[in-house]
Structure 1
């Protein structure tokens, strides 16, 4: 079969670098030592490879001291300066993606970009060229914004200005930051551990595209992507360690960062950044003074440099080659640049941000007229070349097993699984996953390798995202059994198939098991195992299958994908949970089940909130159930919590757009999928053998942050590892011993917990008759003490007083631990200063019911409060949380984050709490009942059911988003 000339592939040599940027830098530092690596004339800075590696370690340690951990984003907005490179390398060492923020952003654009990318710290210059960034810094500090707490999680480091006083939101100078991190054995050990966690496939850089590919978006590029692109660019320029590269393009653009810096680093060159902002005279001066051999520019920069040279009469002595990117460089301009600047050759480079960024380049051996072409495809890169009239998009990517470029919505915490070079992954719209087959020589047939790829994608997909596969034919590669887990498929996500060309074998099987199929008029269908098709050799047209009712629609070939994407977007706009339930009903009907009963798909956990307790009672051991079920005294506070919700009624609206619903909620500058959080609950191993892990997994699937209790049954570090990349907060039962407090808080900080929830209503355990009557005291049995027993300071202090370890004297250690965390002694408001010293992130006080206490919390710099009575487990005869919520909101609601806890059982309860001023709610008992009934699956069903109930209620009542849930939508009766 003749190869399709539209498909091109670069050479397989040289071999890919499968390493992290930190490793590459260390290797180059060992090889080149004191040789110049970075030259910044405008700052009078000249760093060797060894110095650059050392400085990157200092920055990495500084980031760790700020509380950043693997996967946390680091933003930077600055001109071309040595600090920019040091921050980029420092973040790379510990697995913190660096978000490069465009120097032209307005203050509002900067704030939005910081929030979208979830930056934990931003390095920002006080000015860039003549542009003052005071307004940008002010808006990042929350000034001039209706919600000044929006960015309180963010820490700021100012470059080039040591005058900041450290007030506000963690702002300090770059010099101060590095001095603090320059020394310390502990920091070195932390750095070694952090570096060991970084993988070449981790995201290294988040680049905001310029919008030329449709709309600006954040491209997530890995160590492998960027290092290899820099390596191949340097090879095309034939860089050697003797070269000196002059780079005027900005570092916030991939031209400066990848084409410039990483190509130089990979070849042991020195790179010169002449000025913080483009200045043609400074570029020419740098080329002359540093005897540069390579110049990087866009066409307009070349023209400005030529003008400066014409006026000064200067002509570079050693320039041998130039590289232009971003726009075509005409043959006439090439000739002029070569003549005036003494260049022997100029090469052109093209690509997209998403492709690391260069895909095609000319090389030094090409003639000048080749500059008007896109050049040659890069090594290890595949592309499809199209003309301006073809209906197809170009996909260019580095090809390596499990290593490929994909532009993902920021909500996803990890990339899709590695598939193969025959399957391309893109996200064309929110909640849509587009799977495109890429086997043109086999007419896009689906062999056994594709089966495994589709299976892995099926497992990866967690929520409804419509997939759109295309199919072809290859008579030697049909799969003998069901394809990709698609046969009689049970997935939750609807699949829409867009079919053009041949659809045989595995492709036919996938098509039959898709939910909707849109085909081109020229498509052909067949299945070798079907007798009529096999024995008679028949294939069927799209029109025939449409008449049989197998296809949903038949269209001209160039309209198929557009229509499939429109259908998929329409599906994705609906309630995810409603889609799952409706999809289950359809599957039941196909299987011959009674669609009104879904008898084979009954929920594991009852959907009736009033029946949940009884189901849990039957499934759990008596002690475990009663520990959750009951509360303090005669349960009057528990009863008040539920009664309070029944005293409020929702006022529905009609004839209002309520689709698609948007439950996304922003807390402390982090966007979550919904306003639902699971309350921190201890002793979870009592309820199910999976302990905390089951609830962690359920929260991860639903995008809910997990809040670890101090009374957990596993250590802080173990839970952090189980959470992986998913968001996590730490709840502190505040010990009376400051040394133990300091140790617990720092352990949580070092383990990547992002918020500190301090529970204040448990200075001692309440009078709970239902536990006392059956001696239900899990802490004395060693359950719920893992955080304390694993704490080095607590262990040291217990050994000093008893001469034993907690393992040798469990009862004694338990009593000592209880005496610390439930000490019957109140801390003071002034004691919060210690927590603020230890914790740079948001601090949230849980158990605030008084408006006066809320005001005091605000005065003492607290970031948020949880209006909570501990679910009625602490004070009998107390006020309900909901009745106090309006007073607290009135006192401080527009100046701090208010969360709600106690009594949530239904989706309408969540709506009522938010309408009364809460920004998010905690749910406790229901999630634990689900976990006690069926572990992770049970907890998931309860939490997903709450969200589905909430979303359905919003749809019926005419509310489209969280912003619609205002006090005016409810009434007290």
Structure 2
């Protein structure tokens, strides 16, 4: 298959000198007393986001399952590897570009799907998409987005996009979502496998806060014609009263949540009038319908064949952490494997992803691309994961922190900083391209 460009400019040229430009921009601005919009240090970035976000938003973004041992293990796994520098090599010209999904990409970085970004910033996915497009980084649209995928396309028409699918209990809805993803220019489908049950997220539970119950993060659903029909059927169903949740205690927060749901209900009611939506049963029915159909615990390998009927896009399976499952994915004919434990948000004390990356990469043997995430915070982490066999690496929480602190500009700075550090690490270790990286670039700590 002939390769196409991921962006109008030469991908390799787009990544050259990114570290020099980043440092130069920061230091030159410093002459005027201007500091970066977001902290460069990863721990300071998280601390700044904690101050900028509401308690509920920060808990949802930063939290993990149980005692958050998987979150800690993901990050600690990178500390067990060291970059092994080789000096006296000409590294004056460096190339971060890679081949991925039939295109030459400027860098090996993707933005992972993060849902409910309206909790961090009002422009949510739109701001993230624009920032990603400006740097030539593909953005994986979340199934739990705050804006429909078509709006994200219109906000960044030149950006490269993938679409994440949470496999719904409704096959008609799955087919509709994938059809829309293809029509809106997404380049692949990322089927997320590890969220068929919601993880035991202690921070959210302590706050008794799940954004979806407030109609947040369900824009892909409420904008979908199949979902809208499911809502109408639920609203007028004869057993609707039996399925209705128990009445809420009326408090100021309950009233505020009701108003938010009414505002978000415009997509299913056809009116932006909050007053009319408060009186309509459809907005609340949309929330309850979403909670019913969001996922299916009965999903098995045999169901994956349906996705081939729903879309002609490449299919990547996200949530692979066992080598045997990676081989089974190959047998199922998928187009890519995404090694992930959902950033530690699903299972406490789960296997850290970096620990299994080398084995999975060896068994896959380059037959399909491998995307890696979980625990990634900085450019040196990208270097290590790429050296251990990843084709591309996905960044998650850090860009949401940038979004919460400074919107689109914050996302852009976070992504730029990660890429700049990768470029510097590549050069200082004696390498000039991502293709040169292998296990010999590392040493076990």
Scaled by the length of structure 2, what TM-score is found?
0.87
Match of 2:258 in 1: none
Partners in 2 of 1:696 and 1:949 — Cα distance? 22
State the partner residue of 1:818.
291
Secondary structure of the 1:758 match is strand
Q: 1:818 deviation in Å?
A: 2.2
Match for residue 430 of structure 2?
A: 958
Shift of 1:936: 0.4
Structure 2 equivalent of residue 581 of structure 1 = 23
The answer to which structure, 1 or 2, has the higher relative contact order (CA under 8 A, 6+ apart) is: 2
Indicate the residue corresponding to 1:776 in structure 2.
209
Q: Find the counterpart in structure 2 of residue 633 from structure 1.
A: 66
CA distance in 1, matches of 2:157, 2:25: 30
| Residues 1:857 and 2:329 aligned together | yes
**Which of 83, 97, 114 matches 1:664?**
97
Aligned to 2:40: 607
* Distance of aligned partners of 1:857 and 1:623 in 2 relative to their CA distance in 1, 3 Å threshold: same
> How does 1:834-913 map onto structure 2 within 5 Å?
834-913=306-385
The aligned residue for residue 410 of structure 2 is: 938
Kindly indicate which of the two structures has a greater share of residues assigned to helix.
2
Partner residue, 1:747: 180
Deviation at 1:430, TM superposition (A): 8.1
Aligned residue number for residue 206 of structure 1: none
TM-superposed CA distance for 1:933, in Å, is: 0.3
Q: Say yes or no: does 1:712 pair with 2:145.
A: yes
Does residue 190 of structure 2 align to residue 785 of structure 1?
Answer: no
What secondary structure is seen at the aligned counterpart in 2 of 1:601? coil
| 1:811 Cα deviation after fit | 3.0
Aligned residues: 405
Contact kept? 1:632, 1:872, Cα under 8 Å = yes
C-alpha RMSD over aligned residues = 2.0
For the pair 1:969 / 2:402, whether they are aligned, the reply is no
Partner of 1:165: none
**Alpha-carbon spacing, 1:580–1:839, altered in 2? closer, same or farther (3 Å):** same
1:14-29 matches, within 5 Å, as: none
1:666 to partner: Cα distance: 1.0
Name the residue aligned to 2:8: 412
SS at the partner of 1:600?
coil
Q: Give the number of the structure whose alpha-carbon radius of gyration is greater.
A: 1
Q: Deviations over 1:545-572 (max 9, x none)?
A: xxxxxxxxxxxxxxxxxxxxxxxxxxxx
Preserved CA contact (<8 Å) 1:765 1:822: no
The change in CA–CA distance for 1:812 and 1:867 in structure 2 (over 3 A counts) is: same
Q: Secondary structure at the match of 1:917?
A: coil
Deviations 1:797-826 (A, max 9, x none): 221232298443333321221221233x13
Q: Please say if residues 781 and 811 of structure 1, whose CA atoms lie closer than 8 Å, have aligned partners that are also in contact.
A: no
Partner of 1:701: 134
Task: Tell me how far apart the structure 2 counterparts of residues 764 and 737 of structure 1 sit (CA, whole Å).
Answer: 16
More strand by share: 1
Cα shift at 1:583: 5.3
Q: Which residue is equivalent to 2:231?
A: 798
Q: Give 1:494's aligned residue.
A: none
Distance 1:878 1:669 in 2: 33
Alignment of 1:178-577 (within 5 A): 411-412=7-8, 575-577=17-19
- Which residue is 2:276 aligned to? none
What is the CA-CA distance between 1:854 and the residue it aligns to? Answer: 0.5
Q: Is there any run of 5+ residues in structure 1 with no aligned partner, and where?
A: 1-110, 119-409, 414-426, 432-462, 465-573, 589-596
Render the CA deviation track for 1:88-112: whole Å, top value 9, x for unaligned: xxxxxxxxxxxxxxxxxxxxxxx6x
Q: How far apart, CA to CA, are the structure 2 residues paired with 1:725 and 1:871?
A: 28
Secondary structure, counterpart of 1:834 in structure 2 = helix
Given that residues 126 and 151 in structure 2 are in contact (C-alpha distance below 8 angstroms), is that contact kept between their aligned partners in structure 1? Answer: no
Between 1:576-585 and 1:831-840, the stretch displaced more is 576-585
User: Retained in 1: the 8 A contact 2:12–2:97?
Assistant: no
After superposition, give the CA deviation of every residue in 1:148-170 in whole Å (9 maximum; x if it has no partner).
Answer: xxxxxxxxxxxxxxxxxxxxxxx
Deviation at 1:584, TM superposition (A): 5.6
Alpha-carbon contact 1:930-1:939 (below 8 Å) kept? yes
Task: Provide the C-alpha distance between the structure 2 equivalents of 1:580 and 1:682, rounded to a whole number of angstroms.
Answer: 29
* C-alpha distance after superposition, 1:704-734 (max 9, x if no partner): 1111111001112212222212211110011
CA shift for structure 1 position 604: 0.7
- Residue pair 2:140, 2:163 contacting (<8 A) in 1 also: yes
In 2, the alpha carbon distance for the partners of 1:907 and 1:691 equals 24
Determine the structure 1 residue equivalent to 2:273: none
TM-score by length of 1: 0.40
Contact 1:780 1:811 in 2 (8 A): no
Q: Is 1:928 the equivalent of 2:368?
A: no
CA contact (8 A) 2:22 2:420 kept: no
